[in-house]
A and B are shown apart, each in its own frame.
Chain A
Amino acid sequence: MVPDWKVVQDYLEILEFPELKGIIFMQTACQTVQHQRGRRQYNKLRNLLKDARHDCVLFANEFQQHCYLPRERGESMEKWQTRSIYNAAVWYYHHCQDRMPIVMVTEDEEAIQQYGSETEGVFVISFKNYLDNFWPDLKAAHELCDSILQSRRERENESQESHGKEYAEHLPLEVLEAGIKSGRYIQGILNVNKHRAQMEAFVRLQGASCKDSGLVSDILIHGMKARNRSIHGDVVVVELLSKNEWKGRTAALCENDSDDKALGDPPSEPMPTGRVVGILQKNWRDYVVTFPSKGEVQSQGKNAQKILVTPWDYRIPKIRISTQQAEALQDFRVVVRIDSWESTSVYPNGHFVRVLGRIGDLEGEIATILVENSISVVPFSEAQIVLQKNWTSLHCHQERMCEMPVNTPGNPWKVSPEEERERKDLRETHLVFSIDPKGCEDVDDTLSVRTLANGNLELGVHIADVTHFVPPNSYIDIEARTRATTYYLADRRYDMLPSVLSADLCSLLGGVHRYAVSVIWELDKTSYEIKKVWYGRTIIRSAYKLFYEAAQELLDGNFHAVDDIPEFRDLDERSRQAKLEELVWAIGKLTDIARHIRAKRDRCGALELEGVEIRVQLDEKKNIHDLIPKQPLEVHETVAECMILANHWVAKKIWESFPHQALLRQHPPPHQEFFSELRECAKAKGFFIDTRSNKTLADSLDNANDPNDPIVNRLLRSMATQAMSNALYFSTGSCAEEEFHHYGLALDKYTHFTSPIRRYSDIVVHRLLMAAISKDKKMEIKDNLFSNKDLEELCRHINNRNRAAQHSQKQSTELFQCMYFKDKDPENEERCISDGVIYSIRTNGVLVFIPRFGIKGAAYLRNKDGLVISCGSDSRSEWKPGSLHRFQDRITSTTTGGESVTFHLFDHVTVRISVQASRCHSDTIRLEIISNKPYLRPDTELLHQSSLLLKSDLVKEVTRTVEEAQLAQEVKVNVIQEDYQKYCQTKGRSLYTLLEEIRDLALLDVSNSYEM
């Protein structure tokens, strides 16, 4: 199929369907897109071409001797382009020896008539016609096509009747660029305030303009008018307003129901304010929206075809779409895309793409979270894996990588003899073992330690050799690159690699032969100084698959745990004793080494912020949830230290070999002003936090410990984490060497090497390391590595995906929290009342952290009617008329009757948790202070029990209720069945329900946690 330039321009979205394959894009068409539609669409086209799954090619027809046609005198550009494309299609047809019929798709009626029957075998038809004939079953494509057509028609109509303008026109690009250069305008990324989406948005400055203008803080954009049609995430150009027009940001808590009129609070001090004059890059993506309910539709009246839908994300304005299906789609979450936003219209125009699921349904809501974070996780189909097989056998020149491996009981996977020759064999010589959380399937990393003949120690870190199974640019590789990471939601995970690799062949399970990539150090026997380091491919056999608790028991000399280790079960007493001693020695030595390495780094002044990397990497919620280990086990630290060491040395190695195209990880030092809140909070409690360097910060955080209240320290730490910027991947070619520094770990170079099953960055690092090794051996580098520019793009992609993974994890946790509390009656249920700690003060309320559930939320001290809280002698709270006074570290509520109550930072209060349901958005947790005294539970035994209510329990409970609901539905089915029997109908349980049930069972597998 050859699309015309016009088709490429308008229907690219449909061409992106994975079902449509074998498209030949002509250079002429691509260049038109580049010139007329701008970089964004052109990049989409480029990605489409790069993606091997689509089987699309670009044919440079204008550079081909027989295809090039000079433009004739008086011929219009469009005509010439169509003619060139047709000519190239004909040539292509003859080039394939007239065997492959070619379809040229165009929207130009004249061209269809003119060329339609000119050459046999080359068909010229319209796009609509093409879809009807070739893809009659592809419903989604048809719908999309219709909605594109409709929105286009409307746009045409609208442009004709253009009337009063709602927004100022955007300035042309040249003016913007000149303005940015001269400093008149400022470039940045628009960030809409989630809580006051109508009024407040901020522009975070980008790059050079930051230094020139001397502005430190962000720029406030006040109101929709000033925002001028830009949407959250766009790269915009801003003009600063004069100082007397500057406004302050609101510090009051408020809800989204645009009730800001109720708050007459004086805003805080004015900050730089501006207005958007142009958009450099639009960042529109797919949005999840909800249609208005029936009543609202009618009120919209005459214009029934155009409907305003509300996006799930508060930060996105309402979108106007035209559809006839509004009524049918009322109770569903729906995906739409924005097409345009004319200056004459208040809202942007969009079109409907697809349906996700019912509102309030667990699956639908999870799908919503995935779409909102642009995560697409189609399950790995059998076909994809088979395709991989075909593809590799067709294209792969290296025989040994030829097939996607299989591992079934009948046909077990074996170590191949060639690999045995090339790899260093550690199976007999080394005691290798892994330490992971309980129930972990994908074991990336194993450790080994032994004494060498000369008395020195040898420490080894062995990482699963994923790159052996995933050749570059194979189907699996491309899929993994798009996913970039394994996504962990509260109740499930979406793997980056298919499970045959992630849970089996790559996973370094106990007792089986596996390929690995190893880093092995030789350490001095007493000082543990690193003497030598070796990198390379190996074969290992992990002897033990331990979990953290058991390893800690062994380390402590507690041998009860031995019975839990399956490897010891079948041994007789003597060999068991010998093996146990060997293992205990290894773990002990390892811990000793880790302690030394760490102490040495401490002494060098390189201090480490405890666990920062972990927190930033994952959701810091997870740590707060995790109530059991207050101090993590020492084994955790030992393993982490070894991994950090391996990562650090690999980073050094690949940077030395490829100074311009190595993938490293940096953690930029934080801005001091972000720490001000932390410092103030600490001051309220009488602590001093020194934030000048990472060392002083870590020291003062260690000191800021209230013996009576351990939560204070945890809150302070999490605030410190929030103040820091995230660690990022980057390509060494695009950064100066000083910027490589990792602030959190205090290392000059760092990368991710140790989890290739779960992170794509590690796969890239593995390939780099392999290339570095072959470079050292003066061998030719087989894989072609990413150039700096490609790597930079890849890093940006991985960083984005990681952020999406974090967000989706957080949002899914919130979803489960809401579902948990939704069924409970807040007035009666004991569980809905809990102890909370105040950690921030606002003008009309406080922010409260509930340690038991790990929830952070806002509690109002003034309600919507203007009444304030007051606490009687029994410390029960009531709403009364009065006023609020906010101070630095406390807030006082005084009623008209003269009673007053004061809340300090870090005060413990009793809160009631309830859920505020919302149709268009996600449900939110509401907190209400019901007493200013700490909450005392009725009996202490219960306290002990329920304080262990972990996230996983919460998740289980929610999944259970979902299942119960499903069971209830099945009962209904039974009733209907009786009816069927009555009317002599037979109907078994459909396969669908059966599959659904199995899927729900799979959801119960939540025990898998994420350690690094």
Chain B
Amino acid sequence: MAGLELLSDQGYRVDGRRAGELRKIQARMGVFAQADGSAYIEQGNTKALAVVYGPHEIRGSRARALPDRALVNCQYSSATFSTGERKRRPHGDRKSCEMGLQLRQTFEAAILTQLHPRSQIDIYVQVLQADGGTYAACVNAATLAVLDAGIPMRDFVCACSAGFVDSTALADLSHVEEAAGGPQLALALLPASGQIALLEMDARLHEDHLEQVLEAAAQAARDVHTLLDHVVRQHVCEASVLLGD
């Protein structure tokens, strides 16, 4: 069989998108009543659920408390049925640890932690279906959940992945494109200031191309921001209507 053609001569990707196009994004805030904040997001077939508790007192050992700012605690997990092969993933395996750390770094950069010294904020993210760009979906879901919880942030954190095929940068990779093995970059952006909250890439890419890929990812992240902003506004509208009753 011939190798898969990730980008056709006509400029279409495998799933019919153009190079810079995002997958369809649908999101809801406030999906759980008992949590302080919660959100659900679908990016194409990637689905993630985020729940936020806090800020509250430090649980467990008090020694972990930070005198000048809040502690951000992130946990990532993915459902056994989320990927093609059904596999039991024990709590705290390497991948979810790493993902948790990355989320923590991202949100420590975005949340105004110094407003809540000696307290703790918990962010739990669960991936229900993984079809590429899990990190981006997690960040976007968590952003909405943090907003839902009313925790003050500098800005939205919007994340998106980007890849590089045939000297063209592709935004928001799907699972098929990720599996092809090209370089892949994940970017979390604070869109208003254009600051980068997290940038991660672990494949080889020539430095001359980096700028191009980075720009594609940033543009996609800004697009995500527009969409998320819309979701938030709609949620606030609905909430105010309910309150008005």
- Please tell me which one of the listed residues A42, A58, A660 contacts residue B10 in the complex, with CB atoms under 8 A apart: A58
B1 interfacial contact with A, CB 8 Å: yes
Q: Which secondary structure dominates chain B's binding surface?
A: loop
The reply to whether B166 and A39 contact each other, CB–CB distance below 8 Å, is no
The reply to whether A35 and B1 contact each other, CB–CB distance below 8 Å, is yes
Residues of B within 8 A of A (CB-CB), count: 12
Query: What per-residue 1/0 map shows which CB atoms of A35-69 lie under 8 Å from chain B?
Result: 10011001000100110000000101011000000
For A42, the chain B residues whose CB sits under 8 A away are: 2
A916 interfacial contact with B, CB 8 Å: no
A775 interfacial contact with B, CB 8 Å: no
Given contacts A787-B167, A788-B167, A789-B167, contact A63 B12 (CB under 8 A): yes
Q: How far is the CB of B122 from chain A (nearest CB, A)?
A: 42
For B12, the chain A residues whose CB sits under 8 A away are: 60, 63
* Chain B, residue nearest A661 (CB): B167
- Please tell me which one of the listed residues A38, A46, A788 contacts residue B9 in the complex, with CB atoms under 8 A apart: A46
Query: What per-residue 1/0 map shows which CB atoms of A19-39 lie under 8 Å from chain B?
Result: 000000000000000110011
A659 interfacial contact with B, CB 8 Å: yes
The reply to whether A60 and B2 contact each other, CB–CB distance below 8 Å, is no
CB interface residues, A 84-114, toward B, < 8 Å: none
For A49, the chain B residues whose CB sits under 8 A away are: 9
- Please tell me which one of the listed residues B2, B8, B167, B208 contacts residue A38 in the complex, with CB atoms under 8 A apart: B2
The reply to whether A62 and B16 contact each other, CB–CB distance below 8 Å, is yes
* Chain A, residue nearest B9 (CB): A46
* Chain B, residue nearest A50 (CB): B9
Query: What per-residue 1/0 map shows which CB atoms of A654-688 lie under 8 Å from chain B?
Result: 00000110000000000000000000000000000
Complex Cα spacing A117 to B12, Å: 33
The reply to whether A787 and B166 contact each other, CB–CB distance below 8 Å, is yes
Complex Cα spacing A745 to B156, Å: 60
* Chain A, residue nearest B4 (CB): A34
For A39, the chain B residues whose CB sits under 8 A away are: 2-3
The reply to whether B9 and A60 contact each other, CB–CB distance below 8 Å, is no
Complex Cα spacing A34 to B167, Å: 22
Bin the interface of chain A by size.
10 to 19
* Chain B, residue nearest A63 (CB): B16
Given contacts A60-B16, A63-B16, contact A34 B208 (CB under 8 A): no
B200 interfacial contact with A, CB 8 Å: no
Complex Cα spacing A42 to B166, Å: 18
The reply to whether B166 and A34 contact each other, CB–CB distance below 8 Å, is no
Complex Cα spacing A42 to B8, Å: 12
CB interface residues, B 185-217, toward A, < 8 Å: 208
B5 interfacial contact with A, CB 8 Å: yes
Complex Cα spacing A42 to B9, Å: 12
For A62, the chain B residues whose CB sits under 8 A away are: 16
Query: What per-residue 1/0 map shows which CB atoms of A793-816 lie under 8 Å from chain B?
Result: 000000000000000000000000
Query: What per-residue 1/0 map shows which CB atoms of B158-181 lie under 8 Å from chain A?
Result: 000000001100000000000000
CB interface residues, B 1-21, toward A, < 8 Å: 1-3, 5, 8-10, 12, 16
Most buried by A among B1, B2, B3, B5: B2
The reply to whether B2 and A35 contact each other, CB–CB distance below 8 Å, is yes
Complex Cα spacing A35 to B3, Å: 9
For B5, the chain A residues whose CB sits under 8 A away are: 34
Query: What per-residue 1/0 map shows which CB atoms of A58-82 lie under 8 Å from chain B?
Result: 1010110000000000000000000
The reply to whether A38 and B1 contact each other, CB–CB distance below 8 Å, is yes
Q: How far is the CB of B181 from chain A (nearest CB, A)?
A: 14
* Chain B, residue nearest A788 (CB): B167
The reply to whether A659 and B208 contact each other, CB–CB distance below 8 Å, is yes
Q: How far is the CB of A225 from chain B (nearest CB, A)?
A: 28
The reply to whether A34 and B10 contact each other, CB–CB distance below 8 Å, is no
For B167, the chain A residues whose CB sits under 8 A away are: 660, 787-789
* Chain B, residue nearest A789 (CB): B166
Complex Cα spacing A34 to B8, Å: 12
Complex Cα spacing A659 to B206, Å: 12
* Chain A, residue nearest B18 (CB): A63
* Chain A, residue nearest B166 (CB): A789
Given contacts A49-B9, A63-B16, A788-B167, contact A660 B3 (CB under 8 A): no
* Chain A, residue nearest B167 (CB): A787
Complex Cα spacing A788 to B167, Å: 8
CB interface residues, B 68-98, toward A, < 8 Å: none
Q: How far is the CB of A597 from chain B (nearest CB, A)?
A: 33
* Chain B, residue nearest A49 (CB): B9
* Chain B, residue nearest A42 (CB): B2
For A46, the chain B residues whose CB sits under 8 A away are: 9
Q: How far is the CB of B13 from chain A (nearest CB, A)?
A: 10
Complex Cα spacing A63 to B16, Å: 5
Complex Cα spacing A660 to B209, Å: 10
Q: How far is the CB of A491 from chain B (nearest CB, A)?
A: 40
* Chain B, residue nearest A659 (CB): B208
Q: How far is the CB of B46 from chain A (nearest CB, A)?
A: 20
Q: How far is the CB of B14 from chain A (nearest CB, A)?
A: 10
For A789, the chain B residues whose CB sits under 8 A away are: 166-167
Q: How far is the CB of A96 from chain B (nearest CB, A)?
A: 20
Complex Cα spacing A60 to B16, Å: 8
Q: How far is the CB of B4 from chain A (nearest CB, A)?
A: 9
Complex Cα spacing A60 to B15, Å: 11
Q: List 21 A-B contacts (CB under 8 A).
A: A34-B2, A35-B1, A35-B2, A38-B1, A38-B2, A39-B2, A39-B3, A46-B9, A50-B9, A58-B10, A60-B10, A63-B12, A63-B16, A173-B1, A659-B208, A660-B167, A660-B208, A787-B167, A788-B167, A789-B166, A789-B167
Query: Given contacts A58-B9, A787-B167, could you give 12 more A-B pairs where the C-beta distance is less than 8 Å?
Result: A34-B2, A34-B5, A38-B2, A39-B2, A49-B9, A50-B9, A60-B16, A63-B16, A173-B1, A659-B208, A788-B167, A789-B166
Instruction: Give me the interface of A with B, judged by CB distance under 8 Å.
Output: 34-35, 38-39, 42, 46, 49-50, 58, 60, 62-63, 173, 659-660, 787-789
- For the complex of A and B, the 7 pairs showing the least CB-CB separation, nearest first, are A63-B16, A39-B2, A787-B167, A34-B2, A38-B2, A60-B12, A42-B2
